[in-house]
Homo-oligomer: A and B are copies of this chain.
């Protein structure tokens, strides 16, 4: 079988046989898959009345454990967005009652973002279905292939310096 990227590399081989474009076989597929997955996830969360980024923030807070709060800085690192984006996201989620800003701590520069009872309830009810949905997207792979793929991606992520989030 062949996919869209096979067509791309075949074209390059015909037009520029002097160049071995093998890296596109990985980078290109990674990029396209990421877009397609993102679309599916967006659709899934929309069906449950949530924006993609909202679940992302809720899940980051939830998995950090009680009392379910993190600084804005920790959230922006986890989401890989800029500080402006996180401020905006928290503003909107605070207005919807999903999280709240807490400012009592020792360092008054930092803000702690805390899950509200409503936010906790929503994320706890949705993690399971979300994982099931992701599993559906990966159904084409067998158990051994999943482990293999995860392992190869881990090697790359490490080589890019993507370690820890705290």
Contacts and interface: CB of A to CB of B under 8 A. Distances in A.
Interface string A142-166: 0001101110111111111011111
A27 interface: yes
A33 interface: yes
Contacts of A37: 27, 30-31
Interface in A108-166: 124, 127-128, 131, 134-135, 137-141, 145-146, 148-150, 152-160, 162-166
Contact of A25 (B150, B159, B163): B150
Nearest to A18: B128
A106 to B, nearest CB: 24
Contact of A139 (B127, B154, B159): B159
A43 interface: no
A24 interface: yes
- In the complex, the 9 A-B pairs of residues with the closest C-beta atoms, listed nearest first: A140-B159, A23-B134, A34-B34, A29-B153, A11-B63, A25-B150, A3-B157, A149-B152, A23-B135
Contact of A65 (B14, B29, B65, B134): B14
Given A65-B11, A138-B27, A162-B4, A127 B16 contact: yes
B131 A19 contact: yes
Nearest to A29: B153
A51 interface: no
B15 A62 contact: yes
